[in-house]
Amino acid sequence: MSHLTTHILDGATGSPAADVEVALRDAEGVVVASGRTGTDGRLALGPDALEAGVYALEFQTGAYFAARGTATFYPFVSIPFTVADAPHYHVPLLLSPFAYSTYRGS
C-alpha cells in the first residue's frame, strides 16, 4: 500500500500553481479522490494507502489558466502511473500554457 502526493510548478511564472483541481482515477476511470492544490502548489491525495495498480492524476489546467486570463493548449493534463510496492509516490507537474513535463519524484 502506498501514499500519493503531487506538486505543480507554473513554469511560465516560476511560482507554485495554487488552487488547481486534481482528481485521482483508478484504471477504470473512476474518481478515487480529488482536491485542490494549496498556495504552495502541493496536494496529498487519495486514501492513506493505495492498493497496487494503475492510476492517473488528472489536473484541470484549462480552468487554472482561464482564471489567470491566459490561453492554453491543454484543457487538462492526465498522468497515468503504476503503483507497486513503494510506500510513497510523488508525481510532480511542471506546467506552462503550451507544454508540460513530469517525472517520478521522491
Task: Please list the pLDDT of the chain residue by residue as tens digits (106 residues).
Answer: 458 999 999 999 999 999 999 999 999 999 999 999 999 999 998 777 788 999 999 999 999 999 999 999 999 999 999 998 778 899 999 999 999 999 999 8
**In angstroms, how far is the first alpha carbon of the chain from the final one?**
16
Give pLDDT, residue 48.
Answer: 75
* CATH numbers and ranges of domains, the chain: 2-102 (2.60.40.180)
Strands 2-10 and 88-96: parallel
Those residues whose C-beta lies under 8 Å from the C-beta of residue 30, and which sit 6 or more positions away, are none
Q: Enter the C-alpha cell of residue 45.
A: 491525495
Which amino acid is present at 106?
S
Give pLDDT, residue 2.
Answer: 55
